Amino acid sequence: MSKVLIFNGSPRKKGNTATLVAEFTKTLQETDTEFEVFNLHQMEIKPCQFCNWCVNNNALSCVQTDDMNELYPKLLESEKIVLASPIYWFTISAQLKLFIDRLYALHGENGYAFKKKKVGYILVYGDSNSEGSGVNNAIGTLKDIANYMQNEIVGTVHGSAYKIGDAEKNKQLLNDVYELGKKFRS
């Protein structure tokens, strides 16, 4: 069984996204499901240049040298991927968007090599309600991406937490994340 790969798009090491990722992995640990967490903010991920080297060479990797080189083989191997992000300016964080842009390189001769993977989303926003937060934009974007790449969305969890420590107090959100984790167990 391949590892569950979890990508955290928040810059705050002890932030709300990190708390929710920790809750998610706790569920996986209960059944010894293998996983790996990547903190995108700490990684060097350059913007996609749209040079099309990846597509022209059917490379399933990128001509640029950075931390994505390590991620492409892992992404190809894994069947389950979770994206976690704070809402920044009414959508996903720039750190997560940079990473997603670079998935363009996984467009091979037979469509997206990323297809058929199971994906899940964990989103957290500072607003007290989802309507004003912009989380629906993020969900719409992630849904469009999943449809385009033919991924199966296993679940989407979102909730309100603003300051560091707020996610720990949002029991409903923690519970929702825990339940999402169960769906990713081996």
Ligand X SMILES: Cc1cc2nc3c(=O)[nH]c(=O)nc-3n(C[C@H](O)[C@H](O)[C@H](O)COP(=O)(O)O)c2cc1C
* Residues of span 84-143 touching ligand X by CB under 6 A: 86-90, 124-127, 133-134
Q: Give, in order, the Cα–Cα distances in Å from 3 to each of 32, 63, 117, 178.
A: 11, 26, 12, 18
Distance CA 107, CA 104 (A): 6
Stretch that binds ligand X, among 9-17, 21-29, 49-57, 108-116 (CB under 6 A): 9-17
Distance CA 171, CA 155 (A): 18
Token couple for 47: 């913007």
Shortest spacing between CB 14 and ligand X, in angstroms = 8
Shortest spacing between CB 145 and ligand X, in angstroms = 19
User: What's the DSSP call for residue 66?
Assistant: S
Helix, strand, coil percentages, rounded to 5, for the chain: 40, 20, 35
Q: Give, in order, the Cα–Cα distances in Å from 149 to each of 84, 122, 153, 154.
A: 18, 19, 11, 14
Shortest spacing between CB 40 and ligand X, in angstroms = 12
Among 4, 17, 64, 78, binds ligand X (CB under 6 A): 17
Shortest spacing between CB 177 and ligand X, in angstroms = 13
Shortest spacing between CB 85 and ligand X, in angstroms = 8
When asked if residue 25 is in the footprint of ligand X (CB under 6 A), the reply is no
Of 33 and 91, CB closest to ligand X: 91
User: What's the DSSP call for residue 3?
Assistant: P
Stretch that binds ligand X, among 33-41, 42-50, 114-122, 158-166 (CB under 6 A): 158-166
How many amino acids of this chain bind ligand X (CB under 6 A)?
19
Shortest spacing between CB 110 and ligand X, in angstroms = 37
Of 11 and 108, CB closest to ligand X: 11
Q: Which residue in this structure is represented by tokens 């700490």? A: 42
Residue (of 160, 161, 184) closest to 27 by Cα position: 184
Interface with ligand X (CB under 6 A): 10, 12, 15-17, 86-90, 124-127, 133-134, 161-162, 164
